[in-house]
Amino acid sequence: MNVLILEDEDLAAWALISKLQRLDPTIEVLATLDSVRSAVEWCRSHPAPDLAFFDIQLADGLSFEIFEQVKVPCPIIFTTAYDAYALRAFRVNSVDYLLKPVDQDDLARAFSKLRQLQQPAALDAEAVRRILQTLKTPEYKTRFMVKIGDHLTAIVDTDIDFFFGENKIVWLRHQNGRKYPVDYTLDQLEEMLHPQQFFRLNRQYIAAIGAIKDVVSYSNSRLKVTLRDPLGSEDILISREKVEAFKQWLGK
């Protein structure tokens, strides 16, 4: 199988090549490109490979822009660091994807899926348009109106330590230690808040990255989180299912 790789991070490209060779030593990497421009030029002057790996975000644009300039008839596996909101677009358009850093088992599953496809789905102009629309940076809520006495005031997200639910009311906990009720559920807030700044710890808490004071291992492969200026002695636990996502969020 002849493979084309479009990846602007050298380490990521070499890691992918290594995993491909481990998966199938007969795979030949025809070229490793690092930009939309170089990919367009290569596709115009070379026969189509059997398979291509396209990183999404490149130094000179999104790899989807390639499809607007040249025909790419081979199946594509996208590699992406985007979160799940973007991945929904790939599923709708039958496009394979791998979340970076690429996992060996995920790579094997992608190859297995491609072998099962009699005719891989092509990306038409409308599919590209829908994916680009999905990948636009969402607008996250950065200010919350709260009532203090008879007055209304805006609290910016950078001044918030966490949100929590108590007695069927959702509260905003300010860095000054005060709490204010907000007119949103925790589920709604989870969608509104920037995912790099806030994380849904459990059913009761959404915390800002700056409010995480300590994290320790807990029983049954869970984590226990201590927040800055906690509410009390209650343990805030991260479930086993969320541990990996929480660790990735802390390391961003």
Q: Give the pLDDT confidence score for residue 94 in this predicted structure.
A: 40
Give the mean pLDDT of 88-108.
68
Q: Give the pLDDT confidence score for residue 74 in this predicted structure.
A: 84
Whether residue 102 sits in one domain with residue 199: no
Whether residue 130 sits in one domain with residue 16: yes
Whether residue 192 sits in one domain with residue 79: no
Taking only the tens place, the pLDDT of each residue in 120-154 is 555 555 556 565 555 555 678 899 999 888 889 99
Angle at 191 between CA 187 and CA 193, to 5 degrees: 110
Contacts of 193 (CB under 8 A, 6+ apart): 140, 141, 157, 206
On whether the CB atoms of residues 201 and 225 are closer than 8 A, the answer is: yes
Q: Give the pLDDT confidence score for residue 215 in this predicted structure.
A: 92
On whether the CB atoms of residues 112 and 105 are closer than 8 A, the answer is: no
pTM for the complete prediction? 0.50
Q: Give the pLDDT confidence score for residue 109 in this predicted structure.
A: 85
**Residue 222, exposed/middle/buried by CB under 10 A (0-12, 13-18, 19+)?**
middle
Whether residue 196 sits in one domain with residue 107: no
Whether residue 162 sits in one domain with residue 125: no
Give the residue numbers spanning the domain of 228. 143-251
Whether residue 103 sits in one domain with residue 28: yes
Number of domains in the chain: 2
Q: For 198-209, give the DSSP string.
A: EEE-SSSEEEEG
Whether residue 7 sits in one domain with residue 102: yes
Q: Give the pLDDT confidence score for residue 87 in this predicted structure.
A: 53
Taking only the tens place, the pLDDT of each residue in 158-197 is 999 999 998 889 999 999 999 999 999 999 999 889 988 9
- The CATH number given to whatever domain includes residue 51 is 3.40.50.2300
Whether residue 39 sits in one domain with residue 159: no
Whether residue 147 sits in one domain with residue 127: no
**How far, in whole angstroms, is CA 184 from its chain's centroid?**
24
The DSSP secondary-structure symbol of 66 reads: G
What token pair was written down for 104?
């060996």
Q: Is 116 helix (H, G, I), strand (E, B) or coil?
A: helix
